């Protein structure tokens, strides 16, 4: 299950995130001459995808909801410039280990 959670994270955070989500989830980014007014929606949908992946793998809705919330907060904090890419990924992977250990 741990391998599935890690691979699920990699899929959701890289190929499934894409350039659009990567840029538009950040409220500070100005693209196409305008600030991203829908950053909160893009970030929320991205976090929901991660939460759903955790739910699919663990079959635990509480883990899925917790993943969604923690992922949202972590990515928001990274977009605020308070976390590095490596710190962001460490938190995400630590969550996967936690869901595995609690299963």
Contact 74, 92 (CB under 8 A): yes
Greater pLDDT, 93 or 32: 93
CA distance linking residue 69 with residue 72, whole number of Å: 5
Domain ranges of the chain: 2-11+23-102
pTM for the full model? 0.93
**Comparing C-alpha atoms, which of 39, 92, 44 is closest to residue 72?**
44
User: What's the pLDDT score for residue 37?
Assistant: 83
What does the pLDDT look like over 24-39, one tens digit per residue? 999 998 877 777 788 9
What does the pLDDT look like over 37-72, one tens digit per residue? 889 999 999 999 999 999 999 999 999 999 999 999
User: What's the pLDDT score for residue 32?
Assistant: 74
User: What's CA 11's distance to the chain center, in Å?
Assistant: 11
């Amino acid at each position: 299950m741990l391998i599935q959670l890690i691979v699920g994270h990699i899929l959701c955070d890289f190929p499934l995130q894409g350039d659009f989500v990567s840029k538009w989830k950040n409220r500070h980014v100005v693209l196409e001459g305008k600030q991203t007014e829908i950053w909160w929606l893009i970030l929320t949908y991205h976090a929901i995808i991660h939460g759903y992946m955790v739910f699919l793998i663990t079959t635990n809705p509480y883990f899925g909801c917790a993943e969604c919330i923690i992922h949202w907060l972590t990515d928001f904090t990274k977009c605020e410039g308070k976390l590095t890419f490596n710190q962001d990924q460490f938190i995400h992977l630590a969550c996967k280990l936690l869901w595995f250990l609690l299963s």
